[in-house]
Every structure is written in C-alpha cells, then in structure tokens.
Amino acid sequence: MRISLALSFLIAAASCGTSVASEAPPAPDLAGMEPPVRALLSETRAAVVAAPGDALAWGRYGMALHAHELFRPAAACYRAAGRCSPSDPRWAYLEGHALERLGESVEDALGCYRRAAALDPAFPPTHFRLGEILAAAGRAEEARDEFARVLELDPDAAAAHRGLALALVDLGEWSSALEHLERAQALVPGDPAVQAALARVHAHLGDADAARAAAERARAGGPPIALGDPFVFEMQGFARSAESCLVRARERLAAGDAAAALEDLAIVLAERPDDGAALDLEGQALIALQRFEEALAPLQRASMLQGPRPGRDRLLARASSAVGKGSDAILYLQRASDGAPEDATLLAELGMELAKGRRLPEAVDAFASAAGRGRLAPNEIHTWANALLALERFADARTRYLEVLERQPENPDALFGLGRAEEGLGLVDEALARYRAVVARVPTHRAAARLAELEGAASR
C-alpha cells in the first residue's frame, strides 16, 4: 500500500512537471517599478524558470506579484502551483484572493475558495472569504451558512459575528443579528461597521436611544476588526514597494517587532530618503531597541525636513536623555510642550527631566502645570514631592507624599519622604512613626539611620 501511494505521488509530481514545463511564467512589464520590486520579481521568476515543476517556486512568484497588485499574473502562478501540489489548499486560496481583488468573476473566485475549503475544511478564513463574496452577491442564505461555519471553528471570530449579523439582517432575522453584533462589539469595541449595523438594527427594533448611541460611535470611529489570515499575511510579506513597506513597518512596530520594522524602513528610505514618516518610525524603532544614539540622526533629519512636531520632539528628548544629553532633552520637551500646551504628559516628562538635571524650581513649576491639565503618575508625583522637599517647601512636599501614598500605600520611599517633610514642619513624633513603619517593612532602608539619630537625640 505504501509503495502504491509513493508511486502515485511520483506520477503526480511527474505529471505536474510535464504540464507546466512548457508553460512560461508570466513576465509583466517592470518599467517604472521601484528597484527592490523589480529585483524581487526578477528573482522569483528566475526560480520558476530554473525549476518549473516546483510548486513553491510558482507560489512564491505568485505571492511576489500579488503583493504588488499584479493580480492576473499572480492567479496564473497560483494555478500552476496548484497543479504541482494539488493537495496544498494555500494555492487555491490565494488564487481566489487574487481573483477577488481583480474583481472580474465572482464565480471564479468562489470556485477557488471552494477548492481550498474542500482541501482544508477547518481553515476559518476560507469560509469567511466565501461568506463575504456571497453576501456581496446578494446570496444571503449561503453567506449565513459560511459565516456560521467560521464560528463553529472559532467562536470568537469577531469578523464572522459581524458578517453573520449582516447576512441575518438581509434575511430579516433582526433579533439574531443583534446578538451577533453585540458579541462582535464585545470582542472589538470600536469597529465602525459593527456600530453602523447596530444603529440600523436598534432602530428597526424600536430602541431609538441605543440606535443614536451606536450611530455616534460609528461616526467617532475606531480600530476595525482584523481577520487573522496566515496565507494573506505570508503573501503580504513579499511586498517591497516603499509604500507597502512603510505600512508594514508601522504594523510591525505596533506589534513590538522593531528589528523587522527597521528592515522594512531600510527599503523605504533607500527609495525615499526624505520621507519624514519613515524617519520618525526609524527613530521609534531604534529607541525600542535601546539604540538611542542612532535614533537621534533620523529624528533630527525629519525635524529639519518637516519642522518640529510634539511627538517627534518627545522621541528626541527620550533619546537625548538616555545618552546623557539632559540639556537637549529639556529643550526638546519645552518645544514639544509649547506645540501641545494642553498635553499634561509632556509637561510631566519635562518636570522629570528638569528634576534629573537638578533644576528644581523649574521642575516644580512644570509638575504643577501638568497637574492642572491631567492626572500625574505616582512616580511623577513622587519626584515632584522630592523636589519640593529639597527646596524646603515642607508643607507642599507633605501634601504630595500623602498623594503618592493614597495610590501606593506600601511605598517605603514615599513614606520616608513624608517623614522628612514632617520633620521639617517640626512634627517629630509623626516623623518617628513614619520611619518606624518604613523600617518594619524594609529593615535596611535608610530610614533606619534617621530613626536611630532621632531616638538617640531624644534619649540624651
């Protein structure tokens, strides 16, 4: 049995090689394309020419074409890959995706997705794509069934809850549609399409207040539902155009992959060295990798090209501070704060940097201004209190330490600072109680030495 299966595989492979060996891979016009794109398409096409029976070579060339919106030749490559590896659902799926983007034949795209679903019935994105196409074609019952299949496989697929709800609306099943929209909203609260559909369903069901609230949320906007799609994600990884690499770099940076973002940004900046957005992202990525000195150059260049911007100045301040250029960091934060005077976080960061540079009166003013515009973090209030203590403004320092302790009751340093402020106010008994509380929690804390001094003085 094993021998016959192996023989069948070899015959299929040989048949693939014969059927596509005479088929020249597509050769689209590359004139006007960016050099990295031309290089990628030439390289992946050459791999097909060298191994015309290799499904992966055809598939990789198809993905390279697809990623640069050359949908028709991409679909041809996926068909060839499918002939070479008929059991791999990836090629039928991506062919369907390319044909769907081409927008010429709904039935051709449906046929591809159905072939993919037959090969791997448990892959949710295939059923989702089928549902989307069927819904757009007005075939609501078939769309409903495909979205329901997605939810059988992945009950938390927010995109499928939304799709199923819209199909149910088309079928007049308003209450069931509401259930799925509410589930989609719980999973991804800000999706505008979900909010718009909720407004419509609530209005139909007679709940005017809920409809109005959903309509307002739809207008406000928010992050849309994303479909987790590994096949499309793999294809998008072939993108080499500057614009697509910029988008991907932003996504990778948001996902925490700064090193991969830098690879994309190198492609962008080779083509567009004066792209301010790319320079900003490069600076952010370098900061994320703690390469602070390197981060300064792209951020300074972006500032020179486009002028100062608060967000960029904040990044420049962060990098400057990390490499010991505190005066520069203060200047950047002052400029950023001037550009966004209502931003409490900028003023708080300025206060932190001024305190670090021992410019305490200015730090106190910055913290006071920040507090008037928003809520400070405990560490910022603590630094503010320390500055007040150093300036011998004991009553104000005491107020701030108490504020820290309201939010962090177990903070020994804040408790010690509170004791020092109370000493300054002549409240020695209260200070002693604070120091004893600190030492009870942290015996090695510097409060122990101060406690011994005060108790020794009291005993003499």
Residue 22 has pLDDT above 70, yes or no: no
For residues 320 and 293, the answer to whether their CB atoms sit within 8 Å is no
Least confident of 21-35, 141-155, 260-274, 333-347: 21-35
Q: What is the reported pLDDT for 299?
A: 97
* Residue limits of CATH 1.25.40.10 in the chain: 35-218, 241-307, 308-371, 377-460
At 435 the pLDDT is: 95
Give the C-alpha separation, 438 to 451, whole Å.
Answer: 10
CB-based contacts of 347, cutoff 8 Å, min separation 6: 337, 366, 367, 369, 370, 373
Residue 363's CB is within 10 A of a number of other CB atoms, namely 26
Question: What HEC string does 185-206 produce?
Answer: HHHCCCCHHHHHHHHHHHHHCC
DSSP letter at 32? T
Q: How far is CA 244 from the centre of its chain?
A: 16
Q: Is the pLDDT of residue 15 over 60?
A: no
> Among 1.20.120.1770, 2.30.40.10, 1.25.40.10, 3.40.228.10, what is the CATH number of 35-218?
1.25.40.10
What distance in Å separates the CA atoms of residue 366 and residue 356, rounded to the nearest whole number?
A: 13
Read off the pTM: 0.73
What does the alpha-carbon distance between residue 113 and residue 287 come to, in Å, rounded to a whole number?
43
Query: What is the residue-averaged pLDDT of the chain?
Result: 93
Q: What is the dihedral of CA 411, 413, 419, 425, to 10 degrees?
A: -110
Task: Quickly list DSSP for 122-190.
Answer: T-HHHHHHHHHHHHHTT-HHHHHHHHHHHHHH-TT-HHHHHHHHHHHHHTT-HHHHHHHHHHHHHHSTT
Domain 377-460 in CATH 3.40.50.720:
no
Residue pLDDT, tens place only, 269-284? 999 999 999 999 999 9
pLDDT of residue 2: 38
Which position has the higher pLDDT, 129 or 105?
A: 129
- Average pLDDT of the residues in 234-247: 93
Summarised one tens digit per residue, pLDDT across range 108-130 is 999 999 999 999 999 999 999 99
Lowest mean pLDDT among 94-98, 105-109, 387-391: 105-109
pLDDT tier, 357 (very low <50, low <70, confident <90, very high otherwise): very high
* pLDDT (0 to 100) of residue 8: 40
Topology of domain 308-371, per CATH?
A: 1.25.40
Each residue of 419-450: pLDDT tens digit?
999 999 999 999 999 999 999 999 999 999 99
Distance (Å, whole) CA 75 – CA 72: 5
Whether the per-residue pLDDT at 345 is higher than 70: the answer is: yes
Burial 47-69 (b: 16+ CB within 10 A, else e): bbeeebbbbbbbbbbbbbbbbbe
Q: Which residue has the higher pLDDT, 8 or 255?
A: 255
| CATH 1.25.40.10 is held by the domain 241-307 | yes
Q: For the chain, how many helices (H) and strands (E)?
A: 26, 0
